[in-house]
Amino acid sequence: MAVHEGYIKRNFCKFAKINAKVKSRDIESKFLEVEEYERLISETSKHPERTAYAVLYLISKTGMRFAECLGLTVNDIDYETGMLSVNKTWDYKNNTGFMPTKTKSSIREIPLDDDCLKFIKSLTPQPDGRLLPRIFNNAVNRTLRKIVGREVRVHSLRHTYASYLIAHDIDLISVSQVLGHENLNITLDVYAHQLQEQKSRNHEKIKQMWTERGQKPLK
């Protein structure tokens, strides 16, 4: 796992705190540990034929909202550029069809790696072009809890995805854009702790930059 191999020097989820102005839940349900997150991706990637697994994999690799994931169609994937277009949602509660995104800023593009593109290619599209059939949120939550082994929700994957990006030093504007936040303040509020960790790392980088510069002769 990344923590053990040294790619991530700390477990970003262990001390995660959320400052969003919503009714607080147990903080452990907000994020997955790095090991849990990577194990989830590994396990769900093996079963694209299972709708719950496919949903969990795609949300884990993109940070999409549940309704956005179910609203994906064949034409939303550009295999040449490796980009996924989020431009609509699916009414999974009433199964009445496509619906607009949550906000205008929710319309966005998300980069996909080769593994994710191969996974999507292996899916069997619905007659209307949707990549996935209808499935209830509760059913996916049950599958997620079964795999992870504790109380977590599908929306936790969105938070974990964002934290994973921040832990890998992806700039805040890019994180906000791929999440489809209305403004940067939302990202700042929700991921304040992770950003504080990034701030400390950046301070060290600035110090190192000047240290290295001081070792070079002036021209």
Tokens 């939303």, residue located: 76
Coil, strand or helix: which one is 130? strand
Which has the closest alpha carbon to 162: 170, 154, 151?
170
**Letter for the amino acid at 114?**
D
Supply the pTM of this predicted model.
0.80
Domain ranges of the chain: 2-19+27-214
Q: Which residue has the tokens 């199964």?
A: 95
pLDDT of residue 216: 66
Q: Give 30's pLDDT tier (boundaries 50, 70, 90).
A: confident
Tokens found for residue 186: 């939302």
Query: pLDDT per residue over 98-153, tens digit each?
Result: 999 999 999 999 999 999 999 999 999 999 999 999 999 999 999 999 999 999 99
* Residue 215 confidence (pLDDT) above 80: no
Whether 50 and 104 have beta carbons less than 8 Å apart is answered as no
2-19+27-214 placed in CATH 1.10.443.10:
yes
Answer for the pair 55, 70: CB distance below 8 angstroms, yes or no: yes
Both tokens of 182, joined, read 């209305």
CA distance 164 to 172: 12
Separation between Cα atoms, residue 43 and residue 149, nearest integer Å: 13
- Band of residue 218 on the pLDDT scale cut at 50, 70, 90: low
Instruction: Give 152-209 pLDDT, tens digit per residue.
Output: 999 999 999 999 999 898 988 999 999 999 888 888 888 877 777 778 888 888 998 9
